[in-house]
Amino acid sequence: MSLDDYLRRFAEHSRVTVVGPLCAETPPSQPPPHPQPQPLRNLADPLIWVDGGADYRRGNVGFAVGDGDSSHGKLDQYLAVDKDCSDLAYVLRRLPPYFNEVILLGFLGARRDHELFNLGEVHHFLRATNQPTQARFAHRIHAYSKGEWNFTAHGVFSLAVFAATTVQLIGACKFPLPSPTQIQPLTSLGLSNRGHGKITLRTAGPAFIFKPYYNAA
């Protein structure tokens, strides 16, 4: 069975969870110093384990795919090692349009270049979609396609884009953008805002909300 075959089984679902290799302080082949992170408990289909993320798999739940360069066990589908995209990029490009909420676990940390390119691939995924879609890196980073979105923040958050985008930021934050404002890629204009309740984001393209201290829902 291919990833496409697996995903077609869940046409009635709108949310999919994607698990990468960075879900614990130590490699999964060694006993972790603390219990497994809460987000990995009680995961259910539709669920995609990406390469080394499959090392956290318990039982047969979900579908494991990757090129095998970071996994220690068997995958359901193997990708070519020499390819022009990452394993995560491959998965994002295969997601059917009925998935409008993507939960990403285990894709932050370790190599900074990998982390940055994971964010970039999510940007391209959201830019290509024709329907309102959001992606979340656990609770730390929320990414939104163009449209109007509501989120809640109680503390520091930052707004960033990966391409010049016109945005509005309205509501319970210290530095709102009440008028449509063009933000350049990774400019510090959106850095270190502070929220204290419900905030509305209107964006003409993909936009990222960073919540570095896990202080917001």
Q: CATH code at 12?
A: 3.40.50.10240
Same domain, 15 and 68: yes
Contact between 173 and 200 (Cβ < 8 Å): no
**Structural domain containing residue 134:** 3-138
100 and 35 within one domain: yes
Q: What is the rounded average pLDDT of the residues 173-201? A: 97
Using the predicted structure, report yes or no on whether residue 42 has a pLDDT greater than 70. yes
Domain boundary among 112, 138, 164: 138
Phi first, then psi: give them for residue 35, nearest 5 degrees: -60, 155
Shared domain check, 159 and 57: no
Q: For residue 109, what pLDDT is reported?
A: 85
How much is the mean pLDDT over the chain? 90
pLDDT value, residue 24 = 63
Residue 217, in any domain of the structure: no
| pLDDT at residue 139, rounded to an integer | 80
Residues 47 and 133 occupy one common structural domain: yes
Residue 196 pLDDT > 60, yes or no? yes
Within 8 A by CB and 6+ apart from 189, the residues are 181, 183
- pLDDT confidence bin for 37, thresholds 50/70/90: very low
Task: Assess whether pLDDT exceeds 80 at residue 33.
Answer: no
Q: What percent of the chain has pLDDT over 70?
A: 90
Whole-model pTM: value is 0.89
